Amino acid sequence: MLALSIIIPYFFHLAGGPTTGRVFLPMHIPVLLGGVILGPIVGAIVGALSPFIGSLITGMPPAPIMPFMVMELAVYGGVSGLMYHTLGFYKPLAPLSLLLQKMTNKSISVWVKRLEAIVITLIAAMLFGRLVYAGSLYVLAKLFEIKGANAASVVAAVSTGFVGIVIQLIVIPPIVLALHKGGIIDGFFRRSKKTA
């Protein structure tokens, strides 16, 4: 996952220049997958190391924003792993599906529940990651009186990366579902005995 989080953005930058990273957020996908597949500790490590190593090897992300991305992506990887593993969303926990099932008295497929659990996990990780990003910008702005590091820059980052967020929500769930269906993961990266 660490290698993918460096290689994938590199090819995005080659194809479309440095702005493609801010739009498509290619580094985020392997980090989120790392948390979901390998757990919160490995996810946080992959998230923290990806921008640091990427910046050293490829110059992306640029050095001024690299520390913020280290914190943000560490939270992405850690929270996605925490939600999926520690809080048990791999089981799958699907509050909306369960509510719909109670209201309609119809059974809902385990794969629909698993899809909901993955999407909730990803959204939670993204929200917490952006909150840490915003908080770090605020602290930096106050400590060093830096102009431009404010709430507006966080809103700009989210709006610029909206396409990337949508891509993450489209690309990651089928990968995780396929790994579950193939018995490759069952809570953690291992061959499971059940594929349901």
In 3D, which of 29, 44, 50, 53 has the Cα closest to residue 175?
Answer: 29
Provide the angle, in degrees to the nearest 10, between the axes of the packed helices 2-16 and 40-58.
Answer: 40
Name the band, by pLDDT with cuts 50, 70 and 90, for residue 192.
Answer: very low
Q: What is the pLDDT of residues 2-43, one digit of tens each?
A: 999 999 999 988 888 778 888 899 999 999 999 999 999 999
Q: What is the CA radius of gyration of the chain?
A: 18
Name the band, by pLDDT with cuts 50, 70 and 90, for residue 196.
Answer: very low
pLDDT of residue 85: 87
> Residue 2 phi/psi, 5° resolution?
-65, -45
Q: In the chain, pLDDT over 70 holds for what percent of residues?
A: 89
Do residues 27 and 73 lie in contact, with contact meaning Cβ atoms separated by under 8 Å?
yes
Q: In a 10 Å sphere around its CB, with 0-12 CB exposed, 13-18 middle and 19+ buried, how is residue 183 labelled?
A: middle
Provide the angle, in degrees to the nearest 10, between the axes of the packed helices 28-38 and 66-81.
Answer: 30
pLDDT of residue 147: 67
- Of the listed ranges 99-103, 124-128, 157-161, the least confidently predicted one is 157-161
- Token reading at 5: 């989080």
Residue 178 or 147, more confident:
178
pLDDT at position 195 over 90: no
Q: What is the pLDDT of residues 85-124, one digit of tens each?
A: 889 888 887 888 888 888 888 888 888 999 999 999 999 9
| Domain ranges across the chain | 2-189
Q: For domain 2-189, give the CATH number.
A: 1.10.1760
> To the nearest 5 percent, what fractions of the chain are helix, strand and coil?
75, 0, 25
pLDDT of residue 143: 79
pLDDT of residue 187: 60
pLDDT of residue 35: 95
- Count CA within 13 A, CB hemisphere, residue 111: 10
